[in-house]
Amino acid sequence: MIGFGPHLMVDGYEANYETLASVEAITEFLDNLPKEIGMTKIMPPYVFKYDGGDKPEDWGVSGFVIIAESHISIHTFPEKQYFSIDIFSCKEFDMDKAVEIIKEYFGTDKLEIRTTNRGTEFPRDIGIAASITGAQRSRLV
């Protein structure tokens, strides 16, 4: 793998209101997902309800869980039947499996899915990175 790692971004529409509105459901989702996709949870999920501030219809539940490989976060907007999830990892993972779990858990097939690779110049192996950098620098002289 080149770079630091993959980042999966999922926006969900027409999702289950009760799931989106529940601190307990979001906590359960963040508690179980890491193991289901081969990640290592290193702390319990932190989940809270937001009242929407100046826009009461924007209330929802937000949370994250730190994994050894990076993090998973979620923001829900129950009144809009919408959620956004980010899964960022320093190791490859089965993105298709993660998407299927998300679809099933939130009761929707209406998803926008984006992926990217983060840190494309991240030195995964410091020895290899040093030799490449050294070779590049010697060509500049």
Q: Which residues are catalytic?
A: 70, 75, 90
3-state SS class at 106: helix
What are residue 85's DSSP bridge partners? 10, 74
Strand order in the sheet with 70-77: 46-50, 60-67, 70-77, 82-89, 5-12, 111-118
Going 40 to 112 to 117 to 84, the CA torsion angle's sign is negative
